[in-house]
Structure 1
Amino acid sequence: MASSVVVDHSQREMEIKAFHESKAGVKGLVDAGVTKLPSMFIHPPENLLSYSLPEEEDDHLHKIRGLQFPVIDLTGFDSPESRKWVVEEIRSAAESWGFFQLVNHGIPLHVMEGIQRGVRAFHELPQEEKAKWYSRDFARKVNFFSFHGDLSAATPADWRDTLSCKALQDPESFEAIPQICR
């Protein structure tokens, strides 16, 4: 029999409101020395089922420390036949896994490493500096936020912070990116 968790929605709404008004994000909670996980991040026990990996081996699964996950090769993506296959592989991986690795995409390793350094540096900024970017206005080109989804729903929040940069194609848009990330 599955156990159930009673959610006090008014308490949850106050907790979420306070969390967002702080603009500190999850890292801000950790940096502040939080010792108890806020209830908005706690999943009910029935949602914490153990997950087992598929038994079958697949050519497009990659092993790292025993974990297999989809790896999608973009070689030949410019041909219509390849493109159709790649799109189907991405759809399948997104639906069944929620993530995947792309290889042979043409982005040099030094560029990807630079992006990682910039994003890490952003997350290490003082809370006051990151707060300038904190917003749930998803029409913005760049925003920093922590809670994904409907704030009023009883769904538990993900324990993560996100720096989102929409496609920035013109040179003026590049200025919208936090300086430390450029």
Structure 2
Amino acid sequence: MKTYLITDPAYYGSEPFVLTSSLETVFTRTLPDFILLRDKQTSDYPNLAQTFVEVCRNHHVPNVLLHGDYILANALKADGVHLTSAQSDLIINAKALGLYVIISTHTYEEALKAQDLGADAITYSPIFASPNKGEPKGLEDLKEIVDKISIPIFALGGITTDEQINAVEKCGVFGFASIRYFI
């Protein structure tokens, strides 16, 4: 099962030096298959993203993604972009640049739309209770989505333990995504 680390400024900082130090610490313990720079509070996302891509490349992270900005992802030679559920209209543009596209989904309809528009993968969330993310979908709902959608699905939301990882793996997901699991 694939691992997908999503950063959060609360844990990784919003300054290049702090981000670098935080990533270096994580990479001594694990090397995720996918990694996303998710920072909605920085005033200089492009500079932070450049540092992020460089650090991840130095550690040979296989799939380096930026959040929401496919043009910047292309300019910095990231592998892909993770779009929000409201950005499905950008899937085609990002794919045209050769980027790997993951999009956030929260319903079957969003997942189906992402698949139909050519996304490479989706996150489906929240599976378990997660701060400020609404009612958890649960494992039964996750299994239903896995059975109905043909593109890779990352379970996301509240995944912080090995037991939860084992539970989502049994649902047949491609991988799991988490912020807090990797801290």
Bin the TM-score by the shorter chain.
under 0.3
TM-score normalised per structure 1: 0.23
The structure with more helix, counted as a fraction of residues: 2
Q: TM-score, normalised by structure 2?
A: 0.23
Bigger relative contact order, structure 1 or 2 (CA pairs below 8 A, ≥6 apart): 1
